[in-house]
Amino acid sequence: MNLDVFKRPGRFFRGNLHTHSKISDGVLEPEAVAAHYRDAGYDFLALTDHFLPRYNFPIVDTRPFRTNRFTTILGAEVHAPANSQGEMWHILCVGLPEDFPQTGKTETGAELAARAVEAGAFVAIAHPQWSGLNIEDGRALPMAHAVEVYNNTCALESRRGDGAFLLDQLLCDGRDILAIATDDAHFRVGDACGGWVMVKAEENEPSALLAALKAGDFYSTQGPEIHSAEIVGGALHVECSPAVTIAAVGRGSRAVNIHGRALTRGELALDRFAGDWFRFLVSDAADRWAWSNPVRLSA
Ligand SMILES: [Zn+2]
Ligand SMILES: [Zn+2]
């Protein structure tokens, strides 16, 4: 990500990119899902039901649920064979047209993801830990914009919500890949509002949000807020909501961190990440985390 995003005009809009309704295997009607996020203070929502024949390949029209301060982005979680485990891919597509053609009988996950990108979607590799994915799976979807660094439902249901291992290995490959936190809420357990993105845009409007997502103009969080981040004299200066940890991580075991009780700013030396990538994290006293997008540094 370009850290200038923190200085640019516009504001951060809060959104959940991965959600299910009764149209596939979720519990609530689409309208109730939208109302839940609207009432929780979200600015936008992507309802992403499973794009499968047994649900008649739904792209749910959520436009009726928009208000003057809440918008929706159409999307779906698409599926096709086969990941390294021989199972169906789970690929999150945010920003699909309502008439996105159904999955072809012989279409692979990579072909389907490429078609979604071509149709304008922001595409992410969903819940890599829950799916048991490995680096070859990440390499098999070179068109994906992002990896789910955190999936709330997978974390709550089976403690497999972490995607950092795949994200970091792809970054070490030299890949430009972004990190998103999502709910993947089905409303079976209290799985809503546990992980979201904060997207910097000039307006809360689907095309502006999608462009900002693709550009990496966002961070992900379970609660902590990142107010600013800039590199001054070889150090990262972060301002945030009260934190107990501010950390930066990079290739291999490279990491720097500071700890305190209610840190609202921190400075991290970046010399060990020179010529390579780093990303930074903030955690609060409730062990909720925020994740930046990766930053590449010149040598
Ligand atoms: Zn899934
Ligand atoms: Zn899902």
pLDDT above 90: residue 139: yes
Ion ligand 1 neighbours (CB, 5 A) are 90, 126
pLDDT above 90: residue 156: yes
The ligand whose atoms approach the alpha carbon of 91 most closely is 1
Distance 199 CA to ligand 1 centre (A): 23
Distance 160 CA to ligand 2 centre (A): 13
Distance 46 CA to ligand 1 centre (A): 14
Distance 286 CA to ligand 2 centre (A): 26
Reported as a single tens digit per residue, the pLDDT across 17-68 is 999 999 999 999 999 999 999 999 999 999 999 999 999 999 999 999 999 9
Q: Alpha-carbon distance 30 to 96, whole Å?
A: 17
Reported as a single tens digit per residue, the pLDDT across 159-168 is 999 999 999 9
Mean pLDDT of the chain: 98
The ligand whose atoms approach the alpha carbon of 125 most closely is 1
- Looking at residue 25, its pLDDT comes to 98
Distance 91 CA to ligand 2 centre (A): 9
Residues with Cβ within 8 Å of residue 233, at least 6 apart in sequence: none
Residues with Cβ within 8 Å of residue 77, at least 6 apart in sequence: 18, 20, 48, 49, 50, 51, 90, 91, 92, 93, 126
User: What single-letter amino acid sits at 36?
Assistant: H
Report strand pairing: 289-291 vs 277-283.
antiparallel
The ligand whose atoms approach the alpha carbon of 182 most closely is 2
Residue 299 pLDDT grade (very low, low, confident, very high; cuts 50, 70, 90): confident
Distance 18 CA to ligand 2 centre (A): 6
| Helix (H) or strand (E) run with residue 14 in it | strand 11-16
Alpha carbons within 13 A on the beta-carbon side of 291: 26
Residues 32, 258 contacting (CB under 8 angstroms): no
